[in-house]
Amino acid sequence: MASGDLTGPEYIKHHLTNLTFGKSEDGVWRFAETAAEAKEMGFYAIHVDSMAWAIGLGALFLLIFRVIASKATSNIPTGMQNAIEMVVEFIESNVRDSFNHVNKLVAPMALTAFMWILLMNLMDLVPVDWVPVLFNIMGVEYMKIVPTTDPNVTMGMSLSVFFLSIYYAFKNKGAGGFFGELTLHPFSSKNIFVKILLIPINLFLEGVSLIAKPVSHGLRLFGNLYAGEMIFILIALLPLYAQWTLSVPWAIFHILVIVLQAFIFMVLMVVYLNMAHDTGEDH
């Protein structure tokens, strides 16, 4: 519910503003006091809340899995162990179906990506005023707790997958094979002169396709979670009885979005890495 003297637009803007640390116009590195000041800090500013919650939730994922692994038993497993084993088997099955090569890094990466994104997405189910109000009492003006509603986070993850795919593409195909895919497909010809003429066209088409992968990979996750957060914020502006009437059904539906987006990001990551391992002999 909107609090204080904030109007509807001010309330929405407040809840969509990150706790930003950067270089102000006077050359001093400090936390931004307003949304306009945060915007003026530019590219090198850091969204401290997104970073802190993302790292914290990643650490939580590692801690939970470490504790359960250390206490795992084959006799009478606990409910948490059963749940984690189901997740591990689910990820392993999907990697086995989507990845046709041998790389011991892919399955752990897929599990990490799925669980990390799932935990970050789940923060969207926390009532929108609870954490910001708590931090406001402690003197922190802005606090966004859903890292995946920050395009810096989602694009950072997608670019990490992209650069890793480029690395494996060079490693498995060589420079010639990698650039050959960009310049000799989809159009080709046995005539050497025609083949040369087609290189710019192929490079443009394949280059656009290559760049579009990390962009769509990151923005898809961001867009879906940002839209979900926006709806929760809009519901919070309504009278109390309307909030309960609308927020509960939306939260139940949003659980599907939360899990599905984590799964889609993970699957696309595995597919892109599989493509990076494919060579001419694999087709």
Active site amino acids: 216, 220, 224
Annotate 192-234 with three-state secondary structure: HHHHHHHHHHHHHHHHHHHHHHHHHHHHHHHHHHHHHHHHHHH
Rounded-to-integer distance, Cα 265 and Cα 237, Å: 31
Return the structure tokens found at 71. Answer: 């206490």
Rounded-to-integer distance, Cα 154 and Cα 44, Å: 17
Cis peptide bond N-terminal to 186, omega within 30: yes
Nearest to 131 by CA among 53, 54, 64, 60: 53
How many DSSP H helices and E strands does the chain contain? Answer: 9, 3
Query: Most distant CA pair in the chain: distance in Å?
Result: 73
Cα angle 279, 158, 18 (rounded to 5 degrees) comes to 175
DSSP string, 66-113: HHHHHT--SSS--HHHHHHHHHHHHHHHHHHHH--S--TTHHHHHHHH
Cα angle 118, 124, 127 (rounded to 5 degrees) comes to 145
Rounded-to-integer distance, Cα 106 and Cα 1, Å: 43
